[in-house]
Structure 1
C-alpha cells in the first residue's frame, strides 16, 4: 500500500548500514524518519521512541544483549510496530520473531525502496489495528466567553502532552474554529491542508487521507488547521465530523479539539463525544457566570460535571485579586481544576513570532500552570 505518511518512524542500526538511508529521498513518502546509528546491543535513549509509530531495529541473534534489547522494547512499548533488521534471516528465526509480535523483518544491508515499503505497510497495519478497538483520548477546550485564551491554552497543552506522552502514537491538535481559527499561525506553520476536505470526505475518509492533511510542528505534535476561507458554521455534517474525530483517535494517543465560540448542533456533538472537556473562563464574576451557563448547557445534553475541568485564566497570584477562591466556587457551584497565570505581554510577544511560550520563556508561571493542567488531564484520561 503506497501513500505519503506523516507518521513518525525510527531506524536504529549499525553505522555501516545507515549510509544507504541518509541520501536525499531514500525513504521518500515515509513522513518523519529519525535515523540513529547504534550498535546492535547498545541501549536506546528513552526520548528516541517517544511519539514513534514504527521502529526499525537491528538485531544480532548471536548476542543475548541484542535479543534482550528487543524484548525490553516490546514490553515497554506494546503499541509500537517493530520491524527487525537482520543480516542473516533464516525461516525459523523469522517465524519466532513474528510470533513474538514483530510486524516484519528487513534484510541487512538495507534496500531503501524495500524498507520504505515495509515502513508504510507497518504504519497502515498499525492504524487498522488500533481502529478496531484502541482509541486515543479526545479532549476539547471551550471558552466561557470570547477572548478567554482557549486557543493559547490548547496549543500549549498539546505541546506538554506531546513531550510527556508515554504512548507511541503521538498527539494531534484539530482547529474546528471554522471562521476564526488561527492555530497554524500561533504555531508558525504553513498547513499542508485543512480539516475541510476531511469533513467533506464522509465515507471516503481513510488513514491515507488523514495523514495527507496533517501538518507536523516542531513541538512534537501534528495539527489539522482550520479552513483559510470563512465557511458557514451551520453547514457541517455532524456525522462526518464525528467520523473524522474517531479516525484521528484511532491514529493518535491524544486528540485535542479547539471549538468555535458559538454553539451549534455539531459542536455540542463534539462535546458529547469528548472524554474530557476543559472550560476556560476569565476571572471576572460576569465571565464566571457565563461559565456556569455553559455547565448548565452541558448538563442538558447529558455531559456530567465530572467530565469538565473548569480553569480560570488570566489569574493573579493573590487569589485572583479581589475575587477569592470561595467566590469562584460559589459562582460555579463547584471546585475549579486550576488556574492560568496572567502573562499577556510574554504571550503576545511569543504569538507574534509564531512560537509557544514554552519555547521563549520555559520557566514562566503560565507554562508551569499549563504543565500542571496537562498532568491532571492525562491522569484522568488514564483512569477513564
Structure 2
C-alpha cells in the first residue's frame, strides 16, 4: 500500500532536499510541497471536504514554516485532521523539543541534516499509525473531524462604533437560518456579549486558556448554551484575567470552535493584543466596523495599517462595514473604501438607535423586532458575507470568502470631508 505524504516546507532549498529524499522512499507518493502554514491547512481542508479518505497519511512540517510556528501548526493539524500523522523536521533534536512536539500531536521527529534511514523510519511509523486510526476511528463523538466552518472576526475601528452589536446580530442571523453557530467574546477586558444577550455565566474563555488539548467535551463544558441555540464562549467577568489568554491558546480555541460549528463569529473589540490578533489572522472573513465620521474613519485606517505592519491581515482582505449611516453625510462608503484601502460592504446600517434602545437596555438583543431597519441591515450583511444558508436554488453566498478579488464598490469622488490629502 502506498503512503501519501504532504511536505510543508517554507525554505526553497530545504523543500528540494525533502522532496528528493521522499521520492526515494519505497511505496511513497509525495505531493508537491506547500510553502506556508495557510496553504497546508487550506490543502488539507479541501481534501477533507472531498472525503476524509483523500487526506494524506503523513504530513511533514519543517521547522522554518510560517507564519504559524511549527509546533502550533502541528497542534492545529492534529486537532482538525486527527487521522493524519504529522512528523516534525528540525535541526533541534533535543529531548525538550521532542517532548514539546509530542505534546503538540506530532507522531515523530526527524533531525537535520536529513538522513534517508531516519526519514524512512519516521514516515513509515506515522503512516502505520494513521492507517490504524482510520480503521478504528469511526464516527466517535470525542474527536474533531472535517474541514471546519467559517470564522468571522468583528473589530471596531474605535470604541462605540457598534462592533459587539454587529457580532451578536450576525450570529443570530446565522443561527436563525439553520447554521450551527458559536459566538466568542475576545474583547477580553471589557466584553459585553453576555450583557447584550441576558446571560449570567460562570465559565469563560479563560477556562480553556491553559488546556493543551481541547476535546469536544472540554469545549462544550466551557460554552454557554443560549436559548437561541447559539454556543457562547464569553469573556471573563474579571477583565484582568484576560491576560491569561495567549495567542497560542486562541489558536487552539478558534480551531476547536471551527471544527464544531458551521459559523464562528468572534467579537475582537477595539484594542489589539496577541489574542485577538491570532483570531484575526486565522479568520476566513475579517469585518471592521466604522461610523461615517472623520475620527472613526481615521481610526479604521490606523487599524488596517497596524494589521498590515504586523502581517496579520492585508487591507484588501478586510471588509469594512459602515454603521449609523446617514444618506446626506459627506462621508460616503466609496470615500471610506478609498481612505482605508479595504473593501466596503454593500450593506450599510442606518442610524436609528431608537429601534435598538429597548432591546439594549433590557440586555435582550435577541428580542429586537424583525421590522427594525438596523436588524434587517445586519441580517442582510450576514447574507452578503455568506454565513447564512441561502434559499434553495440560490447559490450566491460566501462571496467575500471565496471570491475575494471580485468584490468592490465603484469609487466615486467625495466632497470636502476632512480627509483632504489622505490616501
Both structures adopt the same fold (TM-score exceeding 0.5): yes
Aligned residue pairs total 256
In structure 2, relative to structure 1, the CA distance for the partners of 1:194 and 1:326 (3 Å cut) is closer
Which residue in 1 is equivalent to 2:207? Answer: 197
Which residue in 2 is equivalent to 1:184? Answer: 194
Displacement of 1:275: 0.8
Instruction: Tell me the distance in 1 between the aligned counterparts of 2:148 and 2:142.
Output: 10
In structure 2, relative to structure 1, the CA distance for the partners of 1:275 and 1:191 (3 Å cut) is same
Which residue in 1 is equivalent to 2:140? Answer: 125
Note the residue ranges of structure 2 that are not aligned, 5 or more in a row.
Answer: 1-50, 53-136, 387-397, 404-423
Which residue in 2 is equivalent to 1:53? Answer: none
1:86-125 to 2 correspondence within 5 Å? 125=140
Which residue in 2 is equivalent to 1:137? Answer: 150
Query: Which residue of 176, 195, 202 maps to 1:163?
Result: 176
In structure 2, relative to structure 1, the CA distance for the partners of 1:175 and 1:124 (3 Å cut) is farther
Instruction: Tell me the distance in 2 between the aligned counterparts of 1:258 and 1:134.
Output: 22
Range 225-234 or range 306-315, more displaced: 225-234
1:174 and 2:184 correspond: yes
Structure with bigger RCO (C-alpha 8 Å, 6+ apart) = 1
Instruction: Tell me the distance in 2 between the aligned counterparts of 1:255 and 1:224.
Output: 10
Would the aligned equivalents of 2:150 and 2:264 in 1 still touch at CA under 8 Å? yes
Would the aligned equivalents of 1:192 and 1:215 in 2 still touch at CA under 8 Å? no
In structure 2, relative to structure 1, the CA distance for the partners of 1:282 and 1:133 (3 Å cut) is same
1:258 and 2:284 correspond: no
Would the aligned equivalents of 1:276 and 1:381 in 2 still touch at CA under 8 Å? yes
Which residue in 2 is equivalent to 1:330? Answer: 338
Query: Which residue of 368, 371, 380 maps to 2:376?
Result: 368
SS at match of 1:223: strand
Would the aligned equivalents of 1:259 and 1:267 in 2 still touch at CA under 8 Å? yes
Q: Deviations over 1:135-163 (max 9, x none)?
A: 11111100100111101110011000111
Displacement of 1:274: 0.8
Would the aligned equivalents of 2:316 and 2:341 in 1 still touch at CA under 8 Å? no
Query: Which residue of 222, 225, 239 maps to 1:216?
Result: 225
Would the aligned equivalents of 2:196 and 2:364 in 1 still touch at CA under 8 Å? yes
Q: Deviations over 1:193-243 (max 9, x none)?
A: 211111122x14221111112112222311111111122544432212210
SS at match of 2:344: coil
Query: Which residue of 305, 311, 324 maps to 2:315?
Result: 305
Which residue in 2 is equivalent to 1:226? Answer: 235
1:244 and 2:253 correspond: yes
Would the aligned equivalents of 2:280 and 2:312 in 1 still touch at CA under 8 Å? no
Which residue in 1 is equivalent to 2:399? Answer: 380
Note the residue ranges of structure 1 that are not aligned, 5 or more in a row.
Answer: 1-77, 80-121
TM-score with structure 1 setting the length: 0.61
Displacement of 1:332: 2.2
SS at match of 1:309: strand
1:359 and 2:378 correspond: no
Which residue in 2 is equivalent to 1:148? Answer: 161
Displacement of 1:382: 6.3
TM-score with structure 2 setting the length: 0.56
Instruction: Tell me the distance in 2 between the aligned counterparts of 1:216 and 1:278.
Output: 25
Would the aligned equivalents of 2:368 and 2:375 in 1 still touch at CA under 8 Å? no
In structure 2, relative to structure 1, the CA distance for the partners of 1:207 and 1:305 (3 Å cut) is same
Displacement of 1:296: 1.5
Instruction: Tell me the distance in 2 between the aligned counterparts of 1:283 and 1:302.
Output: 25
Instruction: Tell me the distance in 2 between the aligned counterparts of 1:359 and 1:159.
Output: 10
Instruction: Tell me the distance in 2 between the aligned counterparts of 1:160 and 1:127.
Output: 28
Instruction: Tell me the distance in 2 between the aligned counterparts of 1:339 and 1:155.
Output: 16
| CA RMSD across the alignment | 2.6
1:29-68 to 2 correspondence within 5 Å? none
SS at match of 1:174: strand
1:260-275 to 2 correspondence within 5 Å? 260-275=269-284
